[in-house]
Amino acid sequence: MEQYEPLEIIGTGSFGLIRKVRRKTDGKILARKEIDYRRMNEKERNQLSAEFSILCELDHPNIVRYYGRHVDKINCMIYIIMEYCEGGDLSSIIKKCKKEGTFLSENTIWHFFTQILRALHECHYGYGKNKCGSNHSQQHITILHRDIKPDNVFLGSDNKLKLGDFGLSRKLNLDREFAQTYVGTPYYMSPELITESHYDVKSDIWSLGCLLYELCALQPPFQAKSQPVLAIKISAGTISPIPSRYSDELYNIIKAMLMVDPNQRPTTMELIKMLNPNKDTAYRE
């Protein structure tokens, strides 16, 4: 028996649509990613399997909560059940500001940045939660999101930001092991990916820097009409100043995350300490 009443389609994620659904047992509103696996090749099916195993490891207030999955063999569909985020995605919030000619306040930007940073820190340095009963004990795992962008950050019903869509993410078993291929959004592609195509935690930091820049300037730091020109601009790493309404502190953090040399970029822990210099409180709410 179908456990969920399908409601309207609310967006598109990696591999499929996102639909609002109502759980029949208690009326709870959730989001369901709907994937037709007939159209998936072997590599995409492996990536989907990787997404499931990653979603089972993550349990954090700033990461979209995963409730489970269901395979509909008759219709060749896979459904991933996740937390509903009634505020939609950051991309829509940025578009609304541009349309209205307004800017996000510096306080709002720090509030957004702190939450996404906590989510990314959990991915990079958290401990697996094995919520799906996998047999390994809690161990340190490194999860690379690999597609951090405003379209993949959502505003939850608790007014908290949630990092979502781990459809392109990778679990690294060895800290220094590199994910071999990169498939994310070109605007946010880091310099090392243009030259070497190796992706690691510092590449997520670059994308986070691009996202923070876009929250301020309402446009990405690197833009071009063609990918070759975009690649040249990214490799040069030269960015225009953010609007003068924002502090030097904010601009300095963006510049640090957009250092062309990945070794010069801060880790999530270093960024958290920059935000809370005098506090040694746990970074997790």
Ligand X SMILES: CNC(=O)c1c(C)[nH]c(/C=C2\C(=O)Nc3ccc(Cl)cc32)c1C
Q: Footprint of ligand X on this chain (CB under 6 A)?
A: 10-11, 13, 18, 31, 64, 82-86, 88-89, 154, 164-165
- In whole angstroms, give the CA distance from residue 13 to residue 190: 22
Residue 143 Rama label (left phi>0; alpha psi -120 to 50; beta): beta
CB of 152 to ligand X, least distance (A): 7
Please choose, from the candidates 6, 2, 33, the residue with its C-alpha nearest in 3D space to the C-alpha of residue 22. Answer: 6
Treating both helix axes as pointing N-terminal to C-terminal, what angle do 268-275 and 106-125 enclose, rounded to 10 degrees? Answer: 140
Q: Which is nearer to ligand X, 92 or 267 (CB)?
A: 92
Cα-trace Rg, the chain: 19
Q: Which is nearer to ligand X, 146 or 265 (CB)?
A: 146
Q: Which is nearer to ligand X, 9 or 71 (CB)?
A: 9
Q: Which is nearer to ligand X, 10 or 256 (CB)?
A: 10
Element (H, E) at 77: strand 77-83
227 to each of 180, 188, 242, how far by Cα in Å? 21, 12, 23
146, 182 in Cβ contact below 8 A?
yes
Q: Which is nearer to ligand X, 64 or 230 (CB)?
A: 64
162, 168 in Cβ contact below 8 A?
no
CB of 165 to ligand X, least distance (A): 3
**Collapsed DSSP state (helix, strand, coil) of residue 272:** helix
For this structure, is 280 an active site residue? Answer: no
CB of 154 to ligand X, least distance (A): 5
CB of 200 to ligand X, least distance (A): 23
Q: Which of 59, 89, 147, 151 is catalytic?
A: 147
Phi, psi of 35 (to 5 degrees): -125, 125
CB of 136 to ligand X, least distance (A): 25
Active-site residue set? 147
